[in-house]
Amino acid sequence: EESTFRTRQARSLELTREAREYLAGGVASSRQSTAPHPFWVDRGVGSRIWDQDGNEFVDLHGGHGAMLVGHSHPAIVRAGAERLGLGTHFGQPVPDAIVVARNLSERFGLPQWRFNSSGTEATHDAVRLMRAITGRRILLKTEGGYHGHHESVLVSLSNSGDELGPVSRPASPLSGAGVLREFADWTRVVPWNDLGVLESVLEECGDDVAGIIVEPILMNFGMVRPDPGYLEGVRALTRRYGCLLAYDEVKSGLVVDPGGATALLGVRPDIVCLAKAFGGGIACGAIGGTSEVGEFIASGKYLQIGTFNGNPLHMAMSRAALTEVLTPQAYATTYARTESLARTLGELLSASGRPGYVDSIGAKGMITFAPHRVATYRDFLSVNQEIGRLHWLFQHNRGVFMPPWGAGQPWLVSVQHTDEDLDLVAGNFEELVARMPK
């Protein structure tokens, strides 16, 4: 499969070599590298993208899970082009910001919003806000949970614990380089779905805990739901200890439900972080908060700033995405398609007798090649990545671009995918399992 990849992607290899002269490692961002080498894209329309070698792919990677609207959607193109013609940046608000904030309020049930430009900025705002509002120092996060690339959250992304439980440490010698031990010390790590450990940490240092940040449905080591009662328990404990609860819905927001996991699961946080899908394909970020959080920001005690915050292009594209593209009808068909793909793949996998399971939530789906369900980050570390890697290459060589295999990233079905697109994915998978030695 590797040599097929290299043959089909010859121009991409040339570009990678050329790029190394000016781009560190030959790519514009570390997560742009796919193995055996990056592939360079030309364009995307609907559910498909074309690379520089002229190969066509059904896109299930979705730009790191951001392209729920699909590529070059006419409504998004129209909104973006109109705005380009009117000017894209003034450092002053535009009325689209009200439309977007109102729409997000209705979806997520949180009344007050602010904008920024990425998921990292959104979680950075959330963490600093929780510290500012409570006047406390410690942040709690889930072991293995990814929340962007700032110091407070780039902690314990590798197996960080001994047998006694997780300990905080900079992400890993590789990805945590540059995160000071002293910084990591102010982030305490708790295992997912374990209210007992959370309670004992809060008993120990709860009077200095500013808040906890969680993905309400974990999306960075597979897709892991909260156990029944877990989020309710987290909410109750944060209330008891006077700390805040922030949901990182950068991945799940707008995708698992029109109102994210907040609406789907019915447990309301104090702050929700959004990015990815709500930009309609452009760099975006947002935080939503309760009226108390909104009042704190409005009081001027917290500096929620950024040159391009709420910029007109972001606002225009978000407005078009939220009001014209991500309609109830579009959600209904996309969710039905995603579920049907997951069902088909699941049946093929179980008929093959190989260990693993397939899951979908809303427009997200995932195949996990493991004998047991992944419930914690430590379970995820034992997943067979070899089959995952082979599956990625096999699909890629047959016209499907999947999320990278080792990083536990679910795929995304956009509102522009068709049954034919997903039949190709299922057909490839069927061929792969038939060919693999028993």
State the residues that interact with ligand PMP by CB under 6 A.
64, 118-120, 123, 146-148, 215, 219-220, 248, 250-251, 275
Residue 207 C-beta: closest distance to ligand PMP, Å = 28
Q: How far is CA 244 from CA 12, 140, 228, 267, 438, in A?
A: 47, 10, 21, 13, 50
Phi, psi of 152 (to 5 degrees): -65, -25
Distance CA(415)–CA(337), nearest Å, equals 10
**By C-beta, is 267 or 422 nearer to ligand PMP?**
267
**By C-beta, is 59 or 248 nearer to ligand PMP?**
248
- In this structure, the strands spanning 364-368 and 48-51 are unpaired
- First and final C-alpha spacing in the chain: 19
**By C-beta, is 114 or 398 nearer to ligand PMP?**
114
Contact 155, 170 (CB under 8 A): yes
Q: How is residue 14 written in tokens? A: 């040339």
Amino acid code (one letter) for 67: M
Residue 154 C-beta: closest distance to ligand PMP, Å = 11
Residue 228 C-beta: closest distance to ligand PMP, Å = 22
Residue 286 C-beta: closest distance to ligand PMP, Å = 11
Residue with tokens 């439900």: 257
Residue 275 C-beta: closest distance to ligand PMP, Å = 5
**By C-beta, is 157 or 422 nearer to ligand PMP?**
157
Q: How far is CA 185 from CA 33, 155, 182, 311, in A?
A: 31, 9, 5, 35
Please report how many Cα atoms fall inside a 13 Å half-sphere around the Cα of residue 188, on the Cβ side.
20
**By C-beta, is 33 or 418 nearer to ligand PMP?**
33
**By C-beta, is 220 or 311 nearer to ligand PMP?**
220
**By C-beta, is 16 or 123 nearer to ligand PMP?**
123
Amino acid code (one letter) for 376: T
* Three state DSSP letters for 161-222: EECCEECCCECCCCCCCCCCHHHHCCEEEECCCCHHHHHHHHHHHHHHEEEEEECCCECCCC
**By C-beta, is 219 or 358 nearer to ligand PMP?**
219
**By C-beta, is 199 or 248 nearer to ligand PMP?**
248
Considering Cα of 230, then 232, then 234, then 237, what sign does the dihedral take?
negative
Residue 152 C-beta: closest distance to ligand PMP, Å = 12
Please, which residues have CB within 8 angstroms of residue 309's CB and are 6 or more apart in sequence? 114, 115, 116, 117
Q: Strand locations in 241-337, DSSP E?
A: 244-248, 271-274, 285-289
Residue 145 C-beta: closest distance to ligand PMP, Å = 7
* Helix/strand/coil for 395: helix
Amino acid code (one letter) for 326: L
**By C-beta, is 95 or 406 nearer to ligand PMP?**
406
Residue 29 C-beta: closest distance to ligand PMP, Å = 9
* Cα angle 57-61-67, degrees, rounded to a multiple of 5: 100
**By C-beta, is 157 or 433 nearer to ligand PMP?**
157
Residue 153 C-beta: closest distance to ligand PMP, Å = 8
Closest residue by beta carbon to ligand PMP: 119
Residue 72 C-beta: closest distance to ligand PMP, Å = 21
Residue with tokens 């030695």: 437
Q: How is residue 399 written in tokens? A: 């016209």
Residue 120 C-beta: closest distance to ligand PMP, Å = 3
